[in-house]
Amino acid sequence: MQEGFDYSSIRLVVYKDIAYSFLGFLQGSSRRGRDNRPSKSIFFYNLSNSRLLSTTSSSSTILEIDSSLVFTYLRETTCRRRQINLYLNSELVDEYSNLEARCNLCLSRATTYNNQVDRIRSITKVVKEKRAKARIVI
């Protein structure tokens, strides 16, 4: 993906196998959805390659280290934006609270939380209704 490619109508960015630069990967992935409409970035990679790249040593090349950053980002389980922030600002952030800045992992966690809260509220409502009916019978 070339830097400067700026069309607002891009809906899908697909990577196959490897991104050679973490910054290039971030820039390429951010090319989609510039008009604030739904869009996706998809990265297909061979799991065996990611294992090799996840273990960098002092003799690792810059390419191996940068590729390792991409795979660390892809395997993130808490917040993808924290990997970006760590790379760009050298700060580790647990989670972004701003709804627009949330990654897919943070949004998924928020959805799960909201679904659980809604489930508890509906159960509580049913219990209250049954208690009210039981009081009327007595």
CATH number at residue 40: 3.40.50.300
Judge whether 14 lies within some domain: yes
Identify the band that residue 18 occupies on the pLDDT scale cut at 50, 70 and 90.
low
Instruction: Evaluate whether residue 131 is within a structural domain.
Output: no
Q: Strand locations in the chain, DSSP E?
A: 12-16, 40-44
Q: DSSP class of residue 94? A: S
- Looking at residue 98, what is its pLDDT? 59
How far, in Å, CA of 78 to CA of 93, rounded?
Answer: 10
Specify the number of domains making up the chain: 1
Predicted confidence band of residue 1 (pLDDT cuts 50, 70, 90): very low
